[in-house]
Structures are given as structure tokens and as C-alpha cells.
Amino acid sequence: MPHRPTLPRGAAPSSAKGPGRCRRPAAAVAAAVLALAALAAGPATAGDVTPHPEARRIVSVGGAVTEILFALGAGDRIAAVDSTSLHPDAVRDLPVVGYMRQLAPEGVLSVGPDLILAIEGSGPPPALAILQAGSVPVELVPDVPTPAGVAGKIRAVGAAIGREAAAEPLAAAVEAEFAALARETAALPEAGRKRVLFVLSLANGRVMAGGRGTAAEAIVTLAGGINAADFDGYKPMVDEAVIAAAPDVVLAMRRGDHETSAAEVFALPAFRATPAAEHGAFLAMDGGYLLGFGPRAPAAARELATRLYPDRIGAP
């Protein structure tokens, strides 16, 4: 598997690209999903950022931001990325300045950026404040897991790098894809909608699940499902709560070379009594694809919908 270079705190790289290091462990990627679920007050628009069309050494923080930059044809303008940036494959050759919520200013600045483009929720706050007080411009892109939020995110990134002309058709295409899926899921009978429990992780026989206000709930809802977790945020569930949730389907994410398996989940006593276990209904999808809410979000929502309702929702 390709490796990526990680910059130690305060160390300057020999070049913007180079040989690298191993991918992050599963725990770090799981933590990244928590960060991706942070909600902003509203979708980003072109007016929310200052244009920097001259920027040629961008530090991109946030997997969705990085995907958008590549989708807009600006991949060659990226000097470094954060550790949640996993797509497209070209990012594997770029230096990594750290995890988006644990950035070190000296590491970010060591690549000589002329623009720092970061998803909202990046930090920690003291590090972000230091970067914002410096001479390198910092633009924050709101992160809202909704169709309007994804389209606004694309427009904001396009405005920040002077690629509005490329951003508009991409944003419009994303909106159209979401709208087409919404028309199909709206036709699903209420009685037939699947109750989906998103399992973020398993530890010591306890499940960490995604509740209300999470990116997990957002993608399940867009796919025509019902979130089975009746609480806010990502929290551990006791056995009684799992039984009461009565999920029809368990949804998990693949993280690098690790994947929570159906055998692991359904071996837990609380899950044995669920409809999901009875029918062996378990789905796993790539974490960044499923919960990143970047340009691939409509495709991820449709794929999930087709797997939940193979006889009713069409493939792309």
C-alpha cells in the first residue's frame, strides 16, 4: 500500500511531495468521523470566503475540502493535506501536516503555504488562532451534512481559489443528483422504511453509535432510512438501548485495512435479538465516502439507498 509523509512538529519537508508513511490507525480515522459530524450554522456560500486566485501552495485541511480542490482541477496547487484527506489516490503522494483537530502551527507553516483552506471544526482553537494571526491567509469552509451544505461547500472552495466557473456546474450537478434521489426515496412507503443503526466502533463489547445531528444520521436519512439511535451525537449504547432500537440494518464504515464485521457485531448478545441479526442485514462502506459530505456524497447516499432498497431505488 502507498505511504504518505508525515511532517514532525516544526520540521520542514525537503519538497512538497515525497516518500511517505503508513496510513493512520483505525482509531484516528474513527476520531476523524466525529470531527466531520460537527455542524455549522448554515451552508457555505461564495460570499463567506475571500478569493485567493493567486494561491499555488495550499494546505488543505479536511477530506471534503481536498476532494473538492481535486474535483475543481486544483490538485496541483496543494502543498500538503491533513490526515483525513484520503481521496483521490493522488493525495497519497502529498505531505501530511497532521490530524485536522490536532494541528501544530509550525507543522502547517513548514510547507511554505500561501493559503490554508480548512474545514470548520479544524483545530485545536489555540493553534487555529495562531495561524489566523499570521501572515498566511486562513479560510474556513462550513461543514453542513445536507445537500445545500455540500453544494455551498463546493462554491465556497471555488470562490476561495478563484475557480468559481468550475465550482458552479459541479455544485449544480451535486444538487441535481441529491434531488433525483430525494424523489425516489419520497416514494418509499413509510411502513417499509428501514431502521438503520450506524456503528462507529466496538470496544469491550460496547457499541459506539451515531445519533441525532450526526453525519451518520444525515446520510441514512438521505438514503431513505430511519436512524434507529434515539439520542444526540455519537455515544455508547447499553444493551437495553440496542434492543430497544430494533435496527433492521446495521451500518458500519471501512477504515483503511480495518472493517467492523457482521460477525463481530452480531456476536454481541444485545444484537442477537434484533431484526438485523435475524436477517444478517449488515452493510459496510468506506468512511470518508459515506460520511465526508464532499462531491461524492450524492453517490454515497444513492449507493446506501440501493443497498437498503435494492428493488425500489435505482443504481446510478
Please state which CATH number belongs to domain 190-308. Answer: 3.40.50.1980
Q: Kindly tell me the burial class for residue 259, based on how many C-beta atoms sit within 10 Å of its own C-beta (0-12, 13-18, 19 or more).
A: middle
Segment (H or E) for 117: strand 115-119
- The Cα–Cα gap between 88 and 114 comes to 22
Integer-rounded Cα Rg, in Å, for the chain is 20
Q: How far is CA 98 from the centre of its chain?
A: 16
Number of Cβ atoms within 10 Å of the Cβ of 27: 12
Tell me which DSSP letter residue 63 carries: H
**Tens-digit pLDDT string for the chain (316 aa):** 444 555 544 444 433 333 333 333 333 334 433 333 333 334 444 457 999 999 999 999 999 999 999 999 999 999 999 999 999 999 999 999 999 999 999 999 999 999 999 999 999 999 999 999 999 999 999 999 999 999 999 999 999 999 999 999 999 999 999 999 999 999 999 999 999 999 999 988 889 999 999 999 999 999 999 999 999 999 999 999 999 999 999 999 987 666 789 999 999 999 999 999 999 999 999 999 999 999 999 999 999 999 999 999 988 7
Residues of the chain with CATH 3.40.50.1980: 26-181, 190-308
- Dist CA 285 CA 251 (whole Å): 8
- Count of beta carbons in the 10 Å neighbourhood of residue 257: 10
Q: Regarding the domain delimited by 26-181, which CATH topology (the fold level of the hierarchy) does it fall under?
A: Rossmann fold (3.40.50)
Q: Which residues contact 124 (CB under 8 A, 6 or more apart)?
A: 101, 102, 103
